[in-house]
Amino acid sequence: MQKEYVFKNLGTGKTIVRIDNNKLTIIRKGVRSFLNYGLKGEKTIMLNQVSAVQLKKTGMATGYIQFVLTGSRESKRGLQEALKDENTVTFNMDSKNANANAEEIKNYIEEYNANQSKGTTVVQNVKSPVEQVKELKELLDIGAISQEEFEQKKKELLNL
């Protein structure tokens, strides 16, 4: 799927959400976006990093769609906190098709992640810091890295 959605909010400005197969990009435009979010530029999120999508449809108040990332905490205080969250897109009821577009984005992400998790097994080969230092020592011994690089990486791995 490749599609762009435009959301407008009188308080925060114009936001474009672009979905491109396995990623989502949030693009903020205009002076109001700058005042609320600064010069953060575009933000791209891989869809498999999205652990939840919270949607509050617009009605009498501002609506929003929030992308909760793995390891992060979702906003529990509603709109005021959502307005400050770079992973949240807000919209007013006068935005054309805002509720339907937000619902379509939410459904796409949830379906994408459900399909990705079907029948997949993740195997990680995680080596201990000591094993990694041993491998670095071998690289040092054959001249692939310098003594300085070895010491620096060793300190990182062993938290020294």
Question: Is this model's pTM higher than 0.75 or not?
Answer: no
Cα–Cα distance for residue pair 21/101, rounded to 1 Å: 16
Cα–Cα distance for residue pair 84/35, rounded to 1 Å: 11
Cα–Cα distance for residue pair 127/115, rounded to 1 Å: 30
**Range(s) within the chain of domains with CATH label 2.30.29.30:** 2-117
Residue range 2-117 forms a domain whose CATH class is mainly beta
pLDDT at 131: 85
pLDDT tens-place string over residues 66-80:
999 877 665 555 555
Angle at 73 between CA 49 and CA 63, to 5 degrees: 90
pLDDT tens-place string over residues 49-65:
999 998 888 877 788 89
**Close Cβ partners of 158 (under 8 Å, ≥ 6 residues apart):** 129, 133
Torsion 131-137-140-145 (CA) sign = positive
> Considering only CA atoms, which of 88, 35, 39 is closest in space to residue 66?
88
Angle at 94 between CA 107 and CA 30, to 5 degrees: 90
